[in-house]
Amino acid sequence: MAVLIALLGIGGWAFGGSNGLAIMLVVGLAINVGSYWFSDRIALLAHRARPVSPDEAPELYAIIGRLTQRAGMPMPSVHIIPSGSPNAFATGRGPRHAAVAVTEGLLGLMDRRQLAGVLAHELSHVRNRDVLIATIASGIAGVISTIGYALQWGLMFGGLGDRGNDDRRGSPLAAIAWVIVAPIVAMLLQLAISRAREYGADLSGARLTGDPDGLADALERLEASSERRPYEYAGPATAHLFIVNPLRGRAMLSWLSTHPPIEERVARLRAMRGTVAAPAV
């Protein structure tokens, strides 16, 4: 996160000296504030998630209620996405302002044990504040990439001009280097943050249920089923939120994906057998 903010600041300095640095830092702060307050509502609206009551989804509420009680968390709002593709995500800036959304396909595919594993994974994201971290990282990386691509046209048409030695003006060479390098570095950092938090949520979720095999089984079923039934509302801006990548196809290299390989996640969970407490649900 610090490197992403630094990239944004360096870009401002390279193009506008001290004035540009100040502008970019203000932009970074605005992104953080916007992500903090509005990311949950935007994500739920983007995926057409509707809130449901305990009467509409009693089993879903029962599992989430037991898991949150064990984790010492408040009950999040519960939403269902009208999609036959099995998947789930959590959003919100923290445990007191959280939402969990599952697709209709997930509810039809998972048994109770597997569903508990998926929900524990998502609640772990909330408890660890992964949703906020990933959303801010994605927002900053997106701004860096957008600015970098836009400024390429300025460089092509001589937009930097003769900057001289004034500290308030930018450095043409530094600006060119930033345009080339910064968007790539920002993307790789954002993806690395997302993958690391997925591993962390798997670990925390398995500890929360006391049943790592339940989550491992769920991940295997999710991978097979999501390939057969792609998610229709998938988009790169929110792909990192889901328990499995909703975008079609797989990245050629694991470090170009928002999610670690399912095989590696399952192997880590299987290795936890006998190291956690008895199942809670």
| Average pLDDT by stretches of 10, the chain with 281 residues | 71 68 68 69 90 96 96 96 95 87 96 97 92 74 70 56 50 73 81 90 95 96 88 79 77 67 95 74 47
Q: Which long-range contacts (CB under 8 A, 24 or more apart) does 59-63 make?
A: 59/112, 59/115, 60/102, 60/107, 60/115, 60/119, 63/112, 63/115, 63/116, 63/119, 63/281
Tell me the pLDDT tens digit for each residue of 172-188.
777 777 777 877 888 88
223 included as an active-site residue? no
CA nearest to 52, candidates 82, 85, 26: 82
> Which of the following is catalytic: 59, 122, 220, 223?
122
- β-pairing, 97-103 vs 77-81, is parallel
Question: How far from each other are the two terminal CA atoms of the chain, in whole angstroms?
Answer: 36
Spans of all domains in the chain: 2-270
pLDDT computed for residue 240 by the predictor: 81
